[in-house]
């Protein structure tokens, strides 16, 4: 897609709920290795609640959709994921203030989301957190925008970069969150937040490409 509109945003929510439900156990297993073991369950509960809210409301803009997601995740998701993802979507809503997003808009939206996560979690690249997936995703989207690509291409590049970023967390030693308590034992495990980031951004790209809904 050259640009993305509110229909894409609604469909991304639906696809996000589906992909989180599909990978709920995988995310639980990743988190059980280095965290509380509740990441998959918490996200599944959160996006199930988001779906209900989406059916009850009729958001008219992308920002409306993202705000609904943010508020619902913050109120229903426990642990670190609720505040982190909630802040990400809230910042994304502020960045997506028009009726549509082009590639530059996608890059700005993702960058705003990353800024929210960093502000909330105080993590940086290399700390073995979702930032390790979000940061390369933002860089990839900006590169597409700079080269004149489409919004869909920007999301696809972001999703690819996030997937690699999540994979790259495996050898890292955690420096933030509960995983950091494990020290060297946190190495050789993928960060669950980075993995869920990759899944959500892949869902966004798939919907933009006319796939998963």
The whole-number pLDDT of residue 212 equals: 55
**What class, spelled out in words, does domain 6-208 have in CATH?**
mainly alpha
Over residues 39-44, mean pLDDT: 96
Contact status, residue 117 vs residue 162, Cβ threshold 8 Å: no
The whole-number pLDDT of residue 177 equals: 85
CB atoms within 10 A of CB 87: 21
Q: Where do the structural domains in the chain lie, given as residue ranges? A: 6-208
The whole-number pLDDT of residue 22 equals: 98
Rg from Cα positions in the chain: 16
CA distance 131 to 112: 12
For 50-59, how does the pLDDT look when each residue is reduced to its tens digit (9 = 90+)? 999 999 998 9
Query: What's the pTM value of the predicted model, to 2 decimals?
Result: 0.95
Residue 196 has pLDDT above 80, yes or no: yes
Residue 164 has pLDDT above 50, yes or no: yes
Alpha helices in the chain (DSSP H): 6-22, 24-34, 39-56, 62-76, 81-95, 103-121, 131-146, 151-167, 192-208
């Amino acid at each position: 897609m050259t640009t993305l509109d509110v229909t894409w945003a609604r469909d991304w929510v639906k696809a996000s709920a589906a992909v989180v439900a599909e990978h709920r156990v995988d995310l639980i297993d990743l988190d059980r290795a280095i965290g509380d073991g509740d990441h998959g369950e918490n996200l599944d509960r959160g996006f199930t609640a988001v779906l209900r809210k989406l059916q009850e409301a009729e958001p008219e803009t992308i920002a409306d959709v993202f705000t609904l997601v943010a508020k619902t995740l913050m109120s229903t998701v426990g642990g670190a994921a609720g505040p982190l993802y909630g802040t990400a979507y809230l910042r994304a809503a502020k960045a997506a203030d028009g009726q549509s997003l082009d590639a530059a808009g996608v890059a700005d939206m993702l960058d705003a989301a990353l800024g929210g996560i960093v502000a909330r979690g105080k993590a940086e690249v290399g700390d073995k957190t979702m930032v390790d997936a979000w940061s390369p995703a933002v860089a990839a989207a900006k590169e597409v925008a700079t080269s004149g690509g489409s919004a869909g291409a920007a999301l696809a590049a972001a999703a690819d970069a996030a997937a690699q970023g999540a994979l790259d967390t495996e050898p890292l030693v955690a420096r933030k969150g509960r995983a950091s308590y494990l020290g060297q034992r946190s190495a050789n495990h993928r960060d669950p937040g980075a993995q869920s980031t990759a899944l959500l951004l892949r869902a966004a790209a798939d919907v933009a490409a006319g796939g998963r809904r």
